[in-house]
C-alpha cells in the first residue's frame, strides 16, 4: 500500500522540480509525471513525485481525513 498526500505548489523551478507545501512542510517534488502543473495547483505527492493534479476542494477534504487519522493514531481523536 502506498500513501499519496495532497500539497499546494508554491513555486516551480526550471528543472521541473517544485516547492510544495504538504501540511505546512515545504518539500521539493518532481513534476515529471504530471503535465501542466502551475503555482497554486494542488497535487498528490508520493515519495517526492507529484502523481496527479487535484482540485482545491478535494485536497482540503483529503487533508481533513489525514488529520483525523493521525489524531486517532496518536490517541487525541479517541471518543471520551
Q: Which helix (H) or strand (E) holds 52?
A: strand 49-54
Give the Cβ contact number of residue 5 at 10 Å: 17
Q: What is the pLDDT of residues 61-74, one digit of tens each?
A: 988 888 888 788 88
69 φ/ψ angles, rounded to the nearest 5 degrees: -65, -45
pTM of the model: 0.82
Q: For the domain made up of 5-74, give the CATH fold.
A: SH3 type barrels. (2.30.30)
Q: What is the pLDDT of residues 6-20, one digit of tens each?
A: 999 999 998 999 999
Q: Where are the alpha helices (DSSP H) in the chain?
A: 56-74
Give the Cβ contact number of residue 52 at 10 Å: 13
Q: CA nearest 67: which of 79, 58, 57, 77?
A: 77
Amino acid at each position: 500500500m502506498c500513501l499519496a498526500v495532497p500539497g499546494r505548489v508554491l513555486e516551480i523551478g526550471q528543472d521541473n522540480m517544485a516547492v510544495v507545501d504538504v501540511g505546512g512542510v515545504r518539500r521539493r517534488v518532481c513534476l515529471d509525471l504530471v503535465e501542466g502543473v502551475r503555482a497554486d495547483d494542488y497535487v498528490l505527492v508520493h515519495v517526492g513525485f507529484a502523481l496527479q493534479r487535484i482540485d482545491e476542494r478535494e485536497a482540503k477534504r483529503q487533508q481533513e481525513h489525514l488529520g483525523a487519522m493521525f489524531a486517532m493514531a496518536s490517541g487525541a481523536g479517541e471518543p471520551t
